[in-house]
Structure 1
Amino acid sequence: MPEPSVAALFDLTGTTALVTGSSRGIGRALAEGLAGAGATVVLNGRDTVRLERTRAELADRFGEDRVRAYAFDVTDAAAVDAAVAEVETGVGAIGVLVNNAGVQHRVPLVDLDVADWRRVIDTDLTAAFLVGRAVARGMISRGRGKIVNIASVQSDLARPGIAPYTAAKGGLRNLTRAMAAEWAGAGLQVNALAPGYLATEMTQALVDDEQFTAWVVGRTPAARWGTTADLVGPTVWLASPASDFVQGQTIFVDGGMTVVV
């Protein structure tokens, strides 16, 4: 058989991709990028108004049949299982999962309330297990599938004041390895992306802080904040046949932050 063209290696036409936490920010950008590569994208979020607005905006660009939206809580196991079943019945077999949903909570560790610790761990780590498990069951039965977990430079580094986020993202890096160890033999590829500091709606206060921005720029060899667009290409690669022999890796998309002292 002839080797596939380079374009075909990155083509997601006919693939259904579920992106959690995709009504705004990183998740929205990744959903848009996957749709641009040909996938039918399934958006997810808990804010139904914002989710529908995003769906409508992307549908205007890619078509109503290429952009769907399902509102469910990624930390609720029963809701996750029901939603995944509904997507597979109503849209199509999920070929790509991007576990992107996440929250942040900034407070000194000694002052951290247990409820806030659990909320961050549940959303940033346990949800990836719940959604990943639900989607993987179908992928395993079909013998193929791509899972991309959105980690962070905090998977490898720590800063004061964000302990639960750091713990969750470090756990997500090893969960990615565990998923690959268990599911690679069934034809799945499971990897993670670890963004550096990205300028988004959720980080705008930090971007506007001149002292913090000076630290980010000075600490990053690329000498700038990242953008959500910087994650689109790596996500399409990990979601496509181009990465079929990549397993259990965490790819740092951080402008070089984690490679310098």
Structure 2
Amino acid sequence: MEASKSASLPAVVQISEVYTEPYCMITILSLYLYFVTKAGPQFMEVRKAYELKWLILAHNLFQVVSCVYVIKEILFITDNSILYFWKCRDIGSSPEHVRRYYSLAFFIFWLKLSELLETVIFVLRKKQNQVSKLHVFHHLSTVTLIYMLINHNGNGDAAYFSVFLNSIVHVFMYSYYFLAAVADKKLVQALWPVKKSITVMQMTQFALILVQLVCQIVLCTTPLYHTIYFTAVIVGMFYGFFDFYNSAYQVSQRCKNLSPSPEVGK
């Protein structure tokens, strides 16, 4: 895989290579973890919550546009055959193909780092209850998975399948977040089923990724240790979102069903 890198990669990609070194990635993630779990809450303890509405809107819009770009690039890189996830693929040999493969990989790495801003916004708005273990684990692990995509990918273009699905889900998710940030309370309440459906989409993507992983293990040559780590992360995220779905939607629905109707009290 490393031998496939072109010496003529753009300067921005060569610069990005420095920031995807393990020590740099670990430093960024460590600072993120320290801020959102300790330094941030302590800083906000004696301060009023920040509104940050325009930052939230800009962040959500940026994520939607970026994910659309990622989807478009993946379709180009894989010759529109990304959905044939069971096929074994390399990253191609043409300079243009290799260049766009790594350019996209580095772009996604920076995109995943930008998603860490989400948690920072929660902290600055005093929404510490939203800084859940699942939320933090999700953001930390996705950065490490993209690091593996850049430096230790043994599955070629097929490795972009998980990114492709995730980008589709994020287009819907961040569009919902954008709308929820500008809509009134009645509209947000009316959109509640959409939020539930997005969680189902997230669980479905993890299930499909695991199916692809099995196909790649059986039909292709996959690095053992990287496969074990990738599997552990995806299984962990699937379980986390499934648990969140049950606690946030199923339990509340059961409580709603058990509560007396208005007519009973009359």
Give the TM-score normalised by the residue count of structure 1: 0.30
Q: Would you tell me which structure has more strand in proportion to its own residues?
A: 1
Give the TM-score normalised by the residue count of structure 2: 0.30
Q: Would you tell me which structure has more helix in proportion to its own residues?
A: 2
Structure having greater relative contact order (Cα 8 Å, sep ≥ 6): 2
